């Protein structure tokens, strides 16, 4: 049975992924999960908000970004920002993503330990797919920039699903693409909406505390939380999973 750990204070709590043995696939979110992209998104929002005088000209902070923007897809954000003028909201979000890619050219970096986990997955011949609410152009840009274009067997986009995260549909489509059952797959996520989607799809979700507070993420019921892919909790769970899978 999988028990929940919520960070260092629960370091002695037993955590386990052995219910997914033998492991066949790993599904990843992109923003905040492969890379620490939220600060770049926040900077892009700040630049464009300044141009339109959003929030009475007062710059938004990280807390505001987490509460209102993190993990949400652009259609939802366009409606939130411009409820009386959706086409303007759509255009604003397109401009914001262009600004994000411009800034990310220099600033985008992988989460610590990602390439170590990539090798672990490749060495075991596991299937893998990216599942994201990010727009297609952004998702492909980030995956390419991180050198992972050949790593993923496909990318499931929330905007191409009938329902984006937090609905489970994107993760269920990921399983369909890989031809794997939920009993033999795990997910890495960093947002409440993403964790909810993975849990609703019936898979263990390892949450990353990249930018979102632990107590917020725990409300979505991840299997356990890690700070980065170097986290000893993760590797202890993967080692145990390895033994169970052989």
Element (DSSP H or E) covering residue 189:
strand 185-189
Q: From the centroid of its chain, how far is CA 240?
A: 24
Judgement on whether residues 79 and 152 belong to the same structural domain of the protein = no
Judgement on whether residues 97 and 58 belong to the same structural domain of the protein = yes
**Whose CA is closest to 103, among 142, 56, 53?**
142
- Helix, strand, coil shares of the chain, percent, nearest 5, are 50, 10, 35
3-state SS class at 179: coil
Core vs surface per residue 30-47: b (16+ CB within 10 A) or e? bbbbbbbbbebbbebbeb
Judgement on whether residues 222 and 127 belong to the same structural domain of the protein = yes
Does a structural domain hold residue 79?
yes
Does a structural domain hold residue 19?
no
What are the tens digits of pLDDT across the range 39-95?
999 999 999 999 999 988 899 999 999 888 987 889 999 999 999 999 999 999 999
Q: Which of 63, 92, 107 is the last residue in one of the domains?
A: 107
The answer to whether 155 and 140 are in contact (CB under 8 A) is yes
Does a structural domain hold residue 1?
no
Judgement on whether residues 96 and 131 belong to the same structural domain of the protein = no
pLDDT, residue 97, reads 96
Work out how many domains the chain is built from and give that number: 2
Give the CATH number of the domain where residue 232 resides: 3.40.50.1000
Judgement on whether residues 117 and 212 belong to the same structural domain of the protein = yes
What integer is the mean pLDDT of 130-158? 96
What integer is the mean pLDDT of 108-135? 97
Confidence of residue 5 (pLDDT cuts 50, 70, 90): very low
pLDDT exceeds 80 at position 9: no
Burial (0-12, 13-18, 19+ Cβ within 10 Å), 58: exposed
Judgement on whether residues 132 and 240 belong to the same structural domain of the protein = yes
What integer is the mean pLDDT of 125-138? 96
pLDDT exceeds 50 at position 11: no
Confidence of residue 183 (pLDDT cuts 50, 70, 90): very high
CA distances from 54 to 44, 58, 74, 97 (A): 13, 7, 17, 17
Does a structural domain hold residue 11?
no
State the Cα angle at 30 between 128 and 181, rounded to 5°: 35
Cα separation, 37 vs 236, whole angstroms = 27
Listed range (12-21, 135-144, 146-155, 207-216) with the worst mean pLDDT: 12-21
Does a structural domain hold residue 9?
no
pLDDT, residue 73, reads 85
What are the tens digits of pLDDT across the range 187-233?
999 999 999 999 999 999 999 999 889 999 999 999 999 999 999 99
Residue 10, C-beta contacts closer than 8 angstroms, at least 6 positions apart? 4
Collect contacts of 20-23 with beta carbons under 8 A, ≥24 apart. 20/183, 20/184, 20/185, 20/186, 20/203, 20/204, 20/241, 21/184, 21/241, 21/244, 21/245, 22/184, 22/244, 22/245, 23/124, 23/126, 23/184, 23/185, 23/186, 23/241, 23/245
Confidence of residue 14 (pLDDT cuts 50, 70, 90): low
Judgement on whether residues 232 and 148 belong to the same structural domain of the protein = yes
Cα separation, 74 vs 96, whole angstroms = 10
In the chain, % of residues over pLDDT 90:
86
Judgement on whether residues 200 and 215 belong to the same structural domain of the protein = yes
Judgement on whether residues 134 and 231 belong to the same structural domain of the protein = yes
Q: Which of 107, 133, 150 is the last residue in one of the domains?
A: 107
Catalytic positions are 29, 31
Judgement on whether residues 65 and 119 belong to the same structural domain of the protein = no
pLDDT exceeds 90 at position 147: yes
What integer is the mean pLDDT of 148-153? 98
| Residue 60 structural domain | 38-107
Does a structural domain hold residue 18?
no
The reply to whether omega before 158 is within 30° of 0 (cis) is no
C-alpha distance across the termini of the chain, in Å: 19
Judgement on whether residues 162 and 94 belong to the same structural domain of the protein = no
What are the tens digits of pLDDT across the range 189-199?
999 999 999 99
User: pTM of whole model > 0.75?
Assistant: yes
Does a structural domain hold residue 98?
yes
Does a structural domain hold residue 12?
no
Cα separation, 71 vs 169, whole angstroms = 15
Q: Which of 67, 89, 107 is the last residue in one of the domains?
A: 107
Judgement on whether residues 165 and 203 belong to the same structural domain of the protein = yes
């Amino acid at each position: 049975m999988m028990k929940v750990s919520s960070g260092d204070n629960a370091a002695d709590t037993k955590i386990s992924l052995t219910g997914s043995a033998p492991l066949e696939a790993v599904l990843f979110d992109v923003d905040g999960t492969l890379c620490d992209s939220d600060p770049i998104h926040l900077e892009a929002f700040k630049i464009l908000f300044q141009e339109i005088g959003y929030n009475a000209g007062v710059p938004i902070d990280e807390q505001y970004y987490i509460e209102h923007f993190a993990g949400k897809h652009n259609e939802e954000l366009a409606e939130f920002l411009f409820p009386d003028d959706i086409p303007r909201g759509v255009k604003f979000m397109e401009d914001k993503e262009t600004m994000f890619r411009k800034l990310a050219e220099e600033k985008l970096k992988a989460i610590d330990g990602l390439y170590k986990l990539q090798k672990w997955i490749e060495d075991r011949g596991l299937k893998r797919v990216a599942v994201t609410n990010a727009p297609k152009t952004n998702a492909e840009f980030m995956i390419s920039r991180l050198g992972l274009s050949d790593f993923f067997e496909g990318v499931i986009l929330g905007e191409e699903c009938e329902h984006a995260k937090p609905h489970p549909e994107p993760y269920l489509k990921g399983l369909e693409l890989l031809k794997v059952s939920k009993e033999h797959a795990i997910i890495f996520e960093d947002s409440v909406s993403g964790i909810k989607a993975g849990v609703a799809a019936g898979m263990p979700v390892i949450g990353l505390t990249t930018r979102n507070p632990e107590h917020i993420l725990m409300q979505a019921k991840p299997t356990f939380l890690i700070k980065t892919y170097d986290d000893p909790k993760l590797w202890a769970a993967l080692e145990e999973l390895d033994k169970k899978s052989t």
